[in-house]
Amino acid sequence: MSSIAEAVGDFLAQKTIAVAGVSRDGDLPANLIFKKLRDAGYEVFPVNPRAQEVEGTICFPDLDSVPAEIQGLVIATPPAATDSLVEDCIRLGIPRVWMHRSFGEGSVSRQAIRRCQESGIAVIPGACPMMYVKPVDFGHRCIRWVLKVGGKLPEPRGFSLHS
């Protein structure tokens, strides 16, 4: 993918997506992303090894347990967990990964980005799906604009592992 628009378009063209990092507590970014995707008509699977149910939906302890072919994974975990999740994606043949980040570090791991690139996984190293899944709320439109103007939206092909 040569641009964030193309990468996002490809990722969101899929219908079966897992979201890692959901919580029983509710207001974490992963939960908000899960609900947004579910409400937009995606078949979404929450993943958390310590939860049996999230947002009224059965939660799966790991990607192996998801009873469908996962076409994309949104990662909204600490970066340390991102590396392991990407290794699972490689093993399971999950072709797309989106590492959540709006401001700050988010879930982005340079090691995981490198592994995605080496393994042919389309990776979006940052940004938030809620900035793109329609209808986009005013707050996320503003965040996307600020990141774009500030040159902070990820460019999947041009992402430097040294920046």
Q: Where are the extended beta strands (E) located within 63-138?
A: 72-75, 96-99, 122-125
The reported pLDDT for the residue numbered 26 is: 75
Structural domains of the chain sorted by starting position, each given as residue range(s) with its CATH number in brackets: 4-149 (3.40.50.720)
pLDDT band at residue 161, thresholds of 50, 70 and 90?
very low
Least confident of 43-47, 58-62, 71-75, 103-107: 103-107
| Residue 157 confidence (pLDDT) | 54
CB count within 10 Å of CB 38 equals: 18
pLDDT > 90? residue 67: yes
Q: Please give the pLDDT value at position 151.
A: 84
| Mean pLDDT, range 26-50, rounded to an integer | 94
SS (H, E, C) the chain: CCCHHHHHHHHHCCCEEEEECCCCCCCCHHHHHHHHHHHCCCEEEEECCCCCEECCEECECCHHHCCCCCCEEEECCCHHHHHHHHHHHHHHCCCEEEECECCCCCCCCHHHHHHHHHHCCEEEECECHHHCCCCCCHHHHHHHHHHHHCCCCCCCCCCCCCC
Residues 6-26 have pLDDT tens digits of: 999 999 999 999 999 999 887
- Across 66-70, 104-108, 111-115, least confident range: 104-108
Give the 3-state secondary structure of residue 162: coil
